[in-house]
Amino acid sequence: MRNRTFLDIYEKIISIPSISAMEERIDQSNKQIIDYLSNLFADIGFRISIQKVPNARNKYNLLAQVGSGEGGLLLAGHSDTVPFDEGRWNSDPFKLKHQDNRLYGLGTCDMKGFFAFIFEAIQTLELDKIKKPLFILATADEETTMAGARFFASQQLIKPEMAIIGEPTELKPIGKHKGHMGQSLEIAGQSGHSSDPEKGVNAIEIMHKAIHSLLELRDNLALNYRDESFTVPQATLNLGHVHGGDAENRICGHCKLNFDLRCVPGLSDEQAVRMIDDALAPVYKQYPNRILRTSMYDSSPAFACKNEHDIVDLAETLTGFSMQNANYATEAPFINMLGCDTLVLGPGSIEQAHQPDEFISLDYVAPTVTLLNKMIHHICY
Ligand SMILES: [Zn+2]
């Protein structure tokens, strides 16, 4: 018989590396952690389905389900971690260290350990008496592309009433955050000797006009796309990187700009991209075939909890905290696409995420287990 205490499970989860990284050299498959979690939940009666995530390097999502029928509750989290800073950890990131009422290790807080909390919370439940389904989802590549959650949303396999994503929020319900996209503008001019600038096409001059249009768009966003519940209320556009030309005595033949745009809820990614192209349309028209706009990577949409089943009320009552916004992106907009009320709500603090000596305080155990237990009772029984 395998060890099944909270700490045993935590230790095992942390011991299985599941780093995701853009850089292929350090990117790892999450197959092993998915298999471990599958066995863990299968052994107590969950039905398991594992999906290979397309456009990813050997990554998998796990969906575990007990009970059947309409609605129900989804408890979701990501199975991957960020890479760790070698030499900056005071202990082995893959060996759970229990010290000073804390658990140290990579993923203890963000957020593989959440699955140990779920397991603990369902220990006292009579799973055979469940009336609505309880789902557990472990996704892949949240820390890089969110490919796992994107794929899961596209499949539309389940439609729970409510979903909780157990990212570290200090057990405060998070119901909103902005989106994020990176855009690149490349301008092809025609180089030549600077003694006669008319003989070439100066890419920096075209970029100057493009930037002017983008700054007008920025002002338009600030005026018309706002959500006053954010510290920075407007949808923002930031010029982040520009590179062009090679010498002062040459006409600039190539110029590149990278910028980002952060949508507020209500402004979709598609709409934002359309607004960028509309803003640049006069420059496109004046310089045909010289300007190329591309998305640098898949965008993350803004998120706002739907609250059709009063999840906010429930979470506020159970946690004692009112709903808040986050200033980081999560998988919540994708889980939202299942059509459920979605909140980000979990143990641990974002302060300890992505840091050397990542830890979670054991003070979170009792309140988190109680919270999850009550949520499941409220929704599934
Ligand atoms: Zn996370």
The per-residue DSSP string of 8-63 comes to: HHHHHHHHS--B--SSTTT----HHHHHHHHHHHHTTT-EEEEEEPTTSSS-EEEE
Residue 192 has pLDDT above 60, yes or no: yes
Residue 40: both structure tokens together = 């863990």
Contact 230, 207 (CB under 8 A): no
CATH of the domain at 219: 3.30.70.360
C-alpha distances in Å from residue 150, one per residue of 141, 266, 337: 10, 19, 9
pLDDT recorded at residue 1: 42
Could you read off the pLDDT of 6-61 as tens digits, one per residue? 999 999 999 999 999 999 999 999 999 999 999 999 999 999 999 999 999 999 99
Residue 208 and residue 102 in one domain: no
Specify if 1 maps to a domain: no
Query: Pick from 265, 295, 325: which residue ends a domain?
Result: 295
Annotation says 80 is catalytic = yes
CATH of the domain at 140: 3.40.630.10
Residue 152 and residue 187 in one domain: no
Task: Give residue 222 CA to ligand 1 midpoint distance, Å.
Answer: 29
Beta carbons within 8 Å of 195's beta carbon, 6+ residues apart: 249
Residue 329 and residue 366 in one domain: yes
Specify if 117 maps to a domain: yes
Domain hosting 227: range is 181-295
Task: Give residue 111 CA to ligand 1 midpoint distance, Å.
Answer: 5
Residue 111: both structure tokens together = 């957020």
% pLDDT > 90, the chain: 97
Residue 239 and residue 307 in one domain: no
Residue 126 has pLDDT above 50, yes or no: yes
Residue 277: both structure tokens together = 């192209």
Report pTM: 0.92
| Residues with a beta carbon under 5 angstroms from ion ligand 1 | 110-111, 167
Residue 215 has pLDDT above 80, yes or no: yes
Residue 147 and residue 203 in one domain: no
DSSP 363: G
Three-state DSSP class for residue 293? strand
Specify if 135 maps to a domain: yes
Residue 253 and residue 112 in one domain: no
Find the catalytic residue in 27, 80, 141, 227.
80
Annotation says 23 is catalytic = no
Residue 16 and residue 137 in one domain: yes
Closest by CA position to 185, among listed 299, 298, 261, 291: 291
Number of independent structural domains in the chain: 2
Residue 186 and residue 262 in one domain: yes
Task: Give residue 46 CA to ligand 1 midpoint distance, Å.
Answer: 24
DSSP 198: G
Specify if 20 maps to a domain: yes
Specify if 305 maps to a domain: yes
What does pLDDT average to over the chain?
A: 96
Residue 107 and residue 17 in one domain: yes
Task: Give residue 139 CA to ligand 1 midpoint distance, Å.
Answer: 11
pLDDT recorded at residue 287: 97
pLDDT mean over 316-342: 96
Task: Give residue 114 CA to ligand 1 midpoint distance, Å.
Answer: 10
Find the catalytic residue in 11, 120, 141, 142.
142
Task: Give residue 123 CA to ligand 1 midpoint distance, Å.
Answer: 25
Residue 204 and residue 257 in one domain: yes
